[in-house]
Amino acid sequence: MSHHEVVLLLGSNLGKPEHNIALAIAKIEASLGKVVATTQPLRTEPTEFVSSNYFCNIALRLKTRLSPVGLLKEIKIIEQSMGRLEDSMITKEYVDRVIDIDIVKFGNITFSSAFLQIPHHKHMQVRDFSRQLLADLNDTVNTQI
């Protein structure tokens, strides 16, 4: 079984966002694969909904043996274990959240299902903060946090 290179974007705007991101990264490493590069955290205003809580966002590169669907299932377990109860894919609206973990790229594949789109169109094409994080990630050498 081979390793796949995956790009994830993480965001948090409830509680202690920086701590939430660090905890999520530790959980990712424990169950999903090896984190090989990360960006510096980026503070941003909420996108596509109104909130006074700013986000802490980070992009990371991961080596995993999981399939796209398997990776998504494990990500949802991590999010729920950290207290995320609502999924915007189901509710069709954005709200404040302890953690959000999105699969942005999965190698060079294109994948589409009711609950997963790879590459993640909004992060790749629409959201300025995401494009900045992705550019920063491309500029990083493989450095584990």
> If 0-12 CB within 10 Å is exposed, 13-18 middle and 19+ buried, where does residue 142 land?
exposed
pLDDT digits 0-9 by tens, 100-138 = 999 999 988 887 877 778 776 665 566 788 888 988 888
Q: How confident is the model at residue 97 (pLDDT cuts 50, 70, 90)?
A: confident
pLDDT of residue 24: 97
Better-predicted residue by pLDDT, 48 or 1: 48
Q: What H or E segment, with its residue span, contains residue 79? A: helix 68-81
Better-predicted residue by pLDDT, 83 or 28: 28
Q: Furthest-apart CA pair in the chain: how many Å?
A: 45
Say what percent of the chain tops pLDDT 90: 49
The domain made up of 4-139 is a member of CATH 3.30.70.20: no
pLDDT digits 0-9 by tens, 58-86 = 999 999 999 898 999 999 999 999 987 76
Q: Mean pLDDT throughout 1-28?
A: 93
pLDDT of residue 88: 54
Go through the chain and tell me how many residues it has: 145
Supply the Cα-derived Rg of the chain in whole angstroms. 14
The amino acid present at 68, given as its one-letter code, is P
Helix (H, G, I), strand (E, B) or coil at 31: helix
Q: Is the pTM of this model over 0.85?
A: no
How far is 51 from 63, CA to CA, in rounded Å? 34
Say what percent of the chain tops pLDDT 70: 83
pLDDT of residue 93: 62
Q: Spell out the domain ranges in the chain.
A: 4-139
> If 0-12 CB within 10 Å is exposed, 13-18 middle and 19+ buried, where does residue 105 land?
buried
Distances in Å between the Cα of 109 and the Cα atoms of 5, 41, 94 are 11, 27, 27
